[in-house]
Structure formats: structure tokens, C-alpha cells
Amino acid sequence: MTRLANAHGAINLSQGFPDFPAPEEIKDAAREAIANDINQYPLTWGSESFRVAIAEQYRTRYGMSWIDPERHVTATCGSTEAMIAAMLGVLDPGDEVVVFEPFYENYGPDTILAGAVPRTVTLSPPDWTFDESELAAAFSARTRGIVINTPNNPTGKVFTREELGVIAELCQRWDVVAFTDEIYEHITYDGFRHVPPGAVPGLEDRTVTISALSKTYAVTGWRVGWIVAPEALTSGIRSVHDFLTVAAPAPLQEAGVVALGMPDSFYERLALEYLERRDTLLRILQETGFGSHPTRGAYYVMADVSHLGMGDDVDVAHRLTKDVGVAVVPGSSFFSRPELGTHLVRFAFCKRVETLEEAGARLRKAFA
């Protein structure tokens, strides 16, 4: 959709990357690291300073004080590499992995590349919650993993402590590892707070926690993320990571130390700025007749397009991009059963308010 947006001069509300600059302190730290010649391979599992900063963040922010940078932390090339390295390191061929849908598109392919089999469980609007009996039925002796993406792309769902408790109970019963994707951990709204699954009783010793610099610090092109996992899982994951990529970029890990050390005020401002962007997009969608589902975290809105009479989600996404000048993602791309998403498109609002207002002007011209 980004390619189509570029070809048609559309405002790109499809792919989830910011159109505003990264914080100056972090860019300065990256420049300084390069100038200071931190330009060679770091340790394969990550620079010590970065791993220490990661462990420190989990301790102070979430009380996960058991994390030892030497034994539990691995720096990766973004959370994308983190997830595939974790699955390749933990899963065996034939294992099953529970994946909630709608999903971020990588989890199914990651599972398959690891030789395992995805089992999907539906998240249903308006709260995008799961049916406990459907979830329980997806677990069996073959289940080895479950993917938990919270805050969630594309739904904006933030899993509650109670929901994670239900998942924890099933993971214990069936001896299952939780692979989490917490890349939107700092972007939540309406009093919802991120609960790291790895801090939930019953999941502490069976969670592979994944996050990255990409979204929090508006550096999606840097490709720096990390994995926190129990020692027994870390050794396999580190081997895979070594063979896949050798290491994450050395100077950008140094900048990551500065990023993770940003004061609380940075995260408070981040959340407030995203709130303004979310509310701007929701107002535009309301004014132009798109029915949208609530977004409690991350930076996406799923909107209903069945009333437009413009065809299915793929037709709508193409016509919005080409005729209206606003690019979105077809909803069916987030489901293993595409028919569940043919009435939906996803808007990303990780954009300057001016960009969103310009998209609003185009949508109003076409629909209001």
C-alpha cells in the first residue's frame, strides 16, 4: 500500500511509520557513537551497555527484577528478527502456536518458517476480546507457543491482567511458551496501561518478551530491538540470532542506551501526542461516516467500510488510495480467514496532526 500511495501521491495512512522526526538526543547519540568509532561488530547478543539498560528498564518500569543482562537479554535487528529468531530457537517442527486474529501479518509466516503450525483464535469487537472456551479449545499437547501482541496491531486492544491470567493458566496447564510483541508498550490511551505478560504470575518463567526502539522513539528504520527470555530459551535463541544476523547495529545500540534512559516526561508527552493524533483521526472518521472500533493502545484504527458501497476491503483500499488520496490497509490482510476482514480497513495515525487533517480534508471532500 505504501508503494501504491507513493505512485498516486496519496497520504499514507497505511504502513505504521511516523512522518515526524526522532528525538534530537537520540540522533545525537547515534552520530556520536559513529564519530567515536563504535563501528565494528558488537557481541552477537548485544552491547553490554544496551543489555544493561534494557534490564534496568524492565526492573524499574515493570518490577521484573529477575532479568540479568548476561543471561536473559539479546539485542536483535528489530522485533521482526526477534520474533523469528525466538520461534526458530524455541519451536520444533510440528509444534502448534496459538495466534490471535486479526494479527500483525508476520506471526503466521514466522510460525511456518519455524516448521510449526499456527492455530488462530478470534478477537471480537468492540473490545477485541477472546472467547475463553475457543481459546481453551485451541490448546492441546501439541501446543508449544502462543503469540501475545499487546498493545495490539491492528485492533488497538490492550490485554488486561485478567485476560493474561486466563492465558497464563492455559500456558501452565499445557506447558506453553508465550511469545510477546510489546513494541507499542508506551502508547496507550483512556487509562489503559500496558501489562507485560512476562510479569503476570504463571508466565514469568515461560515468556519470551519482545520489544524494540522502532515505535517508541520513531526510529523504524534503525532496526534495533530485543528479547528477554529465561536462560534455557535464551541459549537457543542466541544461536539462531548469531546465524541469522550476527548482531544488531553497534552504534544504534549505543543510541538505544540514551533512548531507554529518557525521563518519564518523555513517555508522558509521547502518550499525550498520540492521544491528540488518535482523537484527530477518530473525529475525521466520525464526520465522514466511517464506523470505527475503539483504540486503547498502539496507533491504528479499524474502520467499517461496508456502508460505502465501494466493494470489499481491497476495492475500498485501492479506491481510497487512487481516487480519494488516502492510503489504508485492507482488513482481510489481518486474518487467516480473509472473509472476517472484508468489511474493514486499517488507518494508521502515527502522523503529524497536519498530515491527518490533510487526509481529513480529502475524506470530507469525498464523503461528508
- In the complex, which residues of this chain contact ligand PLP (CB under 6 A)? 16, 78-80, 104, 149, 153, 181, 183, 212, 214, 220, 225
Q: Which three cell numbers stand for residue 341?
A: 476482514
Least distance in Å: CB of 267 to ligand PLP?
Answer: 18
Contact between 10 and 209 (Cβ < 8 Å):
no
Cα gap 228→201, rounded to integer Å: 16
Least distance in Å: CB of 214 to ligand PLP?
Answer: 4
Enumerate long-range contacts of 65-69, CB under 8 Å, 24 or more apart.
66/204, 67/228
Of the two residues 111 and 153, which places its CB atom closer to ligand PLP in the complex?
153
Least distance in Å: CB of 250 to ligand PLP?
Answer: 17
Q: Which three cell numbers stand for residue 216?
A: 517508541
Least distance in Å: CB of 142 to ligand PLP?
Answer: 25
Please tell me what DSSP assigns to residue 306: G
Task: Using DSSP bridges, classify how beta strands 207-212 and 225-228 pair: parallel, antiparallel or unpaired.
Answer: antiparallel
Where helices occur in the chain by DSSP H, the ranges are: 2-8, 24-35, 48-62, 78-90, 107-113, 132-138, 161-174, 231-245, 250-260, 264-287, 313-319, 353-367
Of the two residues 181 and 313, which places its CB atom closer to ligand PLP in the complex?
181
Least distance in Å: CB of 149 to ligand PLP?
Answer: 5
Residue number with the smallest Cβ distance to ligand PLP: 78
Q: In one letter, which amino acid is 199? A: A
CA torsion angle 168 170 174 179 (round to 10): -50
Q: How many CB atoms lie within 10 A of CB 190?
A: 11
Of the two residues 79 and 333, which places its CB atom closer to ligand PLP in the complex?
79
Of the two residues 45 and 226, which places its CB atom closer to ligand PLP in the complex?
226
Least distance in Å: CB of 225 to ligand PLP?
Answer: 4
Least distance in Å: CB of 213 to ligand PLP?
Answer: 7
Of the two residues 149 and 333, which places its CB atom closer to ligand PLP in the complex?
149
Of the two residues 45 and 104, which places its CB atom closer to ligand PLP in the complex?
104
Distances (CA, A) of 195 to 149, 191, 350: 11, 12, 22
Least distance in Å: CB of 323 to ligand PLP?
Answer: 26
Of the two residues 11 and 348, which places its CB atom closer to ligand PLP in the complex?
348
Q: How many CB atoms lie within 10 A of CB 105?
A: 13
Of the two residues 220 and 355, which places its CB atom closer to ligand PLP in the complex?
220
Q: How many CB atoms lie within 10 A of CB 358?
A: 15
Cα gap 219→18, rounded to integer Å: 8
Distances (CA, A) of 295 to 159, 163, 201, 275, 317: 12, 17, 27, 10, 20
